[in-house]
Structure 1
């Protein structure tokens, strides 16, 4: 599939190996994994960072290669059960932070036309995601603007 704002196609990546159960060397209890996920979320980590942290460090020193195989739930499902989800979804938050950085750069460097184009593309992606999440994850009357993004991310 082609990229959204260019004519190039993406490079193919590797697939995860198909497995039905966690490996034998990773025998961590599912309750311990869930408590560690909630603990990391309270420390301010995003769901993708939590997965990487558990993969690298583990719960009690034993790495957890796949949280969904070990617990039967995704990281976001665990966070929803324990009411530890963020106000804004992770992908939307990252795009908004990028748009804010690009806007501040454009104010300092008005002749940077590549930055202006990148800002337009990023804000377009943000608007698409806002319409996707509107009503479920964010307010039904939320519309993206620079000021709204700054106030939303400062909270």
Structure 2
């Protein structure tokens, strides 16, 4: 399958091995994993960063290769249960940040055609993702603009 804004095809990556239960060497209690997830969120980490920290550092010295296998819930589900989730999904927040950065760069450098195209592509992705989240996470009448994105990230 080709990439969204280029004609190139992506390089295929390896698939995660299928597993129904955590490996034997990672016998961490589910409650300890959930407590560590909430603790990492309070430190200001995003859900994807929390998963990497649990994989690398672990809980009580034991790595957690997959939070869902260890607890039966995804990181975002754990955060929702503990009222630690954010108002915007992580992927939409990251695209908002990128669009704002590109817009500010374009204001300072109006002749930069390459980044003008990158801004158009990024805002296209934002609008597509806003359509996906509209009604569930975002308000039904939500429209993306630079000013709205900047206000939401403050």
TM-score range, shorter chain: over 0.9
Deviation at 1:140, TM superposition (A): 1.9
2:136, 2:81 → 1: CA distance?
16
Output one character per residue of 1:133-154: Cα deviation in whole Å (capped at 9) or x when no partner. Answer: 0111122221100000000001
Gaps of 5+ in 1: none
Give the TM-score taking structure 1 as reference length: 0.96
Q: How many residues align?
A: 154
1:65, 1:124 → 2: CA distance?
34
Deviation at 1:42, TM superposition (A): 1.8
Which residue in the other structure is 2:115 paired with?
115
Give the TM-score taking structure 2 as reference length: 0.97
Gaps of 5+ in 2: none
Which residue in the other structure is 1:77 paired with?
77
Output one character per residue of 1:93-140: Cα deviation in whole Å (capped at 9) or x when no partner. Answer: 000100001001101111100010000000000001111101111222
1:51 and 2:51 correspond: yes
1:39, 1:135 → 2: CA distance?
30
2:10, 2:31 → 1: CA distance?
38
Q: CA RMSD in A?
A: 0.8
